[in-house]
Amino acid sequence: MAASGAPPFRHLLGIAPLETGEIEALLDTADGFVELNRRSDKKLALLRGLTQINLFFESSTRTRTSFELAGKRLGADVVNMSVGVSAIKKGETLIDTAMTLNAMHPDVLVVRHHDSGAVALLARHVRCAVINAGDGSHEHPTQALLDALTIRRRMGRIRDLTIAICGDIAHSRVARSNILLLTRLGAQVRLVAPPTLLPAGMDRQYGVAVFHDMRAGLEGADIVMMLRLQTERMQGSFVPSLREYFHLYGLTWEKLETARSDALIMHPGPMNRGVEIDGVVADDINRSAILDQVEMGVAVRMACLDHLTRHLRAAP
Ligand code: NCD
């Protein structure tokens, strides 16, 4: 996360560059913000005077709203830049957009882009903190942090839990960030997907177990994390049909029988009911943590904004 030298939280570009202690500190800070977000007066002044720009090159509902609320609850001035009306549509390059925004002196840029590595590239051309809100199929660090916070609060720990990440692993930045974070915090991670949606060699690269059969992959699992079939990133066909995909890989009560009887069900959203998950499973208030994940998202983003701007507040 850190650029060379101080301050320690220059950017949040991914989970990979974070130290384990930094991950735990972010989760601890976020825990405190959860309580604040449940009060009627949710406002703090930690980011007062600071400007946060949300720059989203890909459509997003929950992530953008979540970052906007997070910034506002900490007192920042938050601006949402919609790419539909931005100069990028008129042919401006990413670097020119970055330099233009930089000239307006923002303190934090929250960026989502459809290309892996684009957020890191942009970060090299601005003089403020950059948060990666998802770049291509590379990383989505705040999603992994909010998933970890959800698990930690619901299960009391992450270490030694068996966590099955199921579905379109190949195109998922959520999967990649979660694999990095959850293995780092001591969970046993399994990837469950058809071979066409699971790049070869991930077991050795990340120290995870790989399954192509749902029932086998879910056996004894504490957490079942479902992923959306990301058709917008697919060139060509990766599954024979949505019906067959649901039959083989869609999460149903029947497939969940092999998991622990209290296994927690998660999904980053947006959900495709009847494709990767049966609606009745997603809606079960005792087993599904999907709305908890949304709630934890705001708290985690507040923690990230707080940590990334601490050096500004410490300055004279
Ligand atoms: C994820 C994303 O955008 O990568 N969604 C999210 O941030 N809530 C997953 C997805 O789009 O399927």
pLDDT in tens, 75-92: 999 999 877 656 666 667
* DSSP code, position 121: H
Angle at 133 between CA 312 and CA 314, to 5 degrees: 10
**Confidence band of 4 (pLDDT split at 50, 70, 90):** very low
The per-residue pLDDT for 5 is 42
**Confidence band of 316 (pLDDT split at 50, 70, 90):** low
Q: What distance in Å separates the CA atoms of residue 171 and residue 295, rounded to the nearest whole number?
A: 25
**Confidence band of 8 (pLDDT split at 50, 70, 90):** very low
Backbone φ, ψ for residue 153 (5° rounding): -75, -35
Cβ(165)–Cβ(223) below 8 Å: no
Place of tokens 């046993």: 188
Average pLDDT, rounded, for the chain:
93
Cβ(179)–Cβ(165) below 8 Å: yes
User: Per-residue pLDDT averaged across 198-221, rounded?
Assistant: 97
**Cβ neighbours of residue 19 closer than 8 Å, sequence gap 6 or more:** 1
Q: Whose CA is nearest to atom 12 of ligand 1?
A: 228
The per-residue pLDDT for 2 is 47
Place of tokens 């959800």: 150
DSSP state letters, 133-192: EEETTTB-HHHHHHHHHHHHHHHS--TT-EEEEES--TT-HHHHHHHHHHHHTT-EEEEE
User: Per-residue pLDDT averaged across 262-287, rounded?
Assistant: 97
Q: Token pair of 166, please? A: 């199921």
**Confidence band of 296 (pLDDT split at 50, 70, 90):** very high
How do residues 16-75 score in pLDDT, each as one tens digit?
999 999 999 999 999 999 999 999 999 999 999 999 999 999 989 899 999 999 999 999
pLDDT at 207 over 80: yes
How do residues 101-121 score in pLDDT, each as one tens digit?
999 999 999 999 999 999 999
Backbone φ, ψ for residue 132 (5° rounding): -80, 115
How do residues 236-265 score in pLDDT, each as one tens digit?
778 778 999 999 999 999 999 999 999 999
Laid out side by side, the sheet with 129-135 consists of 77-82, 51-56, 108-113, 129-135
* DSSP code, position 261: T
User: Per-residue pLDDT averaged across 175-195, rounded?
Assistant: 98
CA–centroid distance, 103 to ligand 1, in Å, is 30
CA distance readout (Å), 108 to 111, 127, 128, 184: 10, 9, 6, 27
The per-residue pLDDT for 6 is 46
Q: What distance in Å separates the CA atoms of residue 268 and residue 256, rounded to the nearest whole number?
A: 19
User: Which H or E element spans position 22?
Assistant: helix 20-37
Among 179, 287, 155, 284, smallest CA distance to 227 is for 179
Q: Whose CA is nearest to atom 7 of ligand 1?
A: 63
CA–centroid distance, 270 to ligand 1, in Å, is 7
CA–centroid distance, 312 to ligand 1, in Å, is 30
Q: Whose CA is nearest to atom 3 of ligand 1?
A: 134
Cβ(250)–Cβ(278) below 8 Å: yes
pLDDT at 11 over 80: yes
Total residue count of the chain as it appears in this document: 316
As for ligand 1, residues whose beta carbon falls within 6 Å of it are: 62-63, 134, 140, 143, 173-174, 228, 230, 268-269
What ligand 1 atom has the least distance to the C-alpha of 174? Answer: 4
Please tell me whether residue 83 adopts helix, strand or coil conformation: helix
Q: How many CB atoms lie within 10 A of CB 68?
A: 19
Q: Token pair of 263, please? A: 């296994």
